[in-house]
C-alpha cells in the first residue's frame, strides 16, 4: 500500500533487514559446536529465564558482563560461560549484500535514513563497524533508549529523538508484530522477508512510499 504522505525518513530494523543473523539460542549454540542432546536438555523454565535476562540486556538494564553472568547462571547445567559468549557473538553472520547501496540511494533521493533495533551493547559495538552504518542518519536501539519493540513507547521515543512525525516515517522490519505496532503508532510499515534479497525489498518499499530512488 502506498502512503498518502511521502516518506521523509526510512527507518530499518538491523537483524533480518540489514544484518543476517542466527535467529534462536539453539541455532547459535549449534554454530559453536554444542551437541544436540545438550540443546534438547534445556528446560522450558530455563529458556524463559534466558529470554528474560536477554530482554534486560536489550533494554540496557544489563551491560555485557552482567548479562553474561546472568545467562551463565541460567544455563550453567548445559554450557560454560565461554561457550555462551561465543554463541552470543555468533548471532551476527554479516551484512546482507547491497544494503549499504540501498540506504545510500534513499539518502541521495532526499530522504533521511535511520535504524531502530532491539539489540545490546556487545552487538552494537560490532554493528557500527559495518558499511551500512555509514549510510544511517539516525542510529537508535533498544539498549540506548531503554525500551524494546513492539512497545509503543519506543516508537514515540524515536519520533522525539528524530523530530519526524509518524505519518512521514517508513519502517522496515522482518517481524510482523513490530510492523503492526509501528502502524498502530501511525507509521507506514512494510515487513521484510529475511530469507530473500533484503536490499531490493528496501528500495521497493521506499519507492512505494514516495522516495524516488
| Rounded mean pLDDT, 105-126 | 98
Percent of the chain with pLDDT over 90: 95
**Mean residue pLDDT across the chain:** 96
pLDDT of residue 38: 87
| Rounded mean pLDDT, 185-198 | 98
Q: Which CATH architecture has domain 9-20+95-208?
A: 3-Layer(aba) Sandwich (3.40)
- pLDDT tens readout for residues 53-96: 999 999 999 999 999 999 999 999 999 999 999 999 999 999 99
Residue 2 has pLDDT above 60, yes or no: no
Residue 207 has pLDDT above 70, yes or no: yes
Domain residue ranges of the chain, discontinuous segments joined by +: 9-20+95-208, 25-90
| Rounded mean pLDDT, 20-24 | 96
Residue 168 has pLDDT above 60, yes or no: yes
* Angstrom distance (rounded) from CA 190 to CA 172: 5
5 confidence band (pLDDT: 50, 70, 90):
confident
| Rounded mean pLDDT, 185-193 | 98
| Rounded mean pLDDT, 94-101 | 98
| Rounded mean pLDDT, 142-155 | 98
1 confidence band (pLDDT: 50, 70, 90):
very low
| Rounded mean pLDDT, 171-190 | 98
Residue 170 has pLDDT above 90, yes or no: yes
pLDDT of residue 4: 63
Amino acid at each position: 500500500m502506498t502512503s498518502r504522505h511521502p516518506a521523509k525518513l526510512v527507518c530499518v530494523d538491523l537483524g533480518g533487514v540489514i544484518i543476517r543473523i542466527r535467529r534462536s539460542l539453539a541455532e547459535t549454540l549449534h554454530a559453536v559446536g554444542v551437541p544436540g542432546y545438550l540443546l534438547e536438555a534445556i528446560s522450558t523454565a530455563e529458556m524463559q529465564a534466558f529470554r528474560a535476562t536477554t530482554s534486560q540486556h536489550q533494554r540496557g538494564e544489563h551491560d555485557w558482563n552482567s548479562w553474561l553472568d546472568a545467562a551463565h547462571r541460567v544455563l550453567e547445567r548445559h554450557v560454560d560461560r565461554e561457550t555462551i559468549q561465543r554463541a552470543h557473538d555468533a548471532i551476527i553472520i554479516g551484512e546482507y549484500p547491497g544494503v549499504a547501496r540501498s540506504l545510500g540511494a534513499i539518502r541521495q533521493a532526499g530522504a533521511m535514513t535511520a535504524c531502530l533495533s532491539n539489540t545490546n551493547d556487545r552487538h552494537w559495538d560490532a554493528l557500527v563497524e559495518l558499511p551500512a552504518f555509514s549510510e544511517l542518519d539516525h542510529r537508535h536501539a533498544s539498549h540506548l533508549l531503554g525500551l524494546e519493540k513492539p512497545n509503543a513507547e519506543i516508537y514515540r521515543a524515536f519520533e522525539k529523538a528524530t523530530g519526524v512525525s509518524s505519518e512521514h516515517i517508513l519502517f522496515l522490519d522482518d517481524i510482523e508484530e513490530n510492523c503492526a505496532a509501528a502502524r498502530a503508532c501511525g507509521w507506514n510499515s512494510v515487513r521484510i522477508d529475511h530469507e530473500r534479497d533484503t536490499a531490493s525489498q528496501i528500495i521497493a518499499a521506499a519507492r512505494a512510499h514516495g522516495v524516488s530512488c
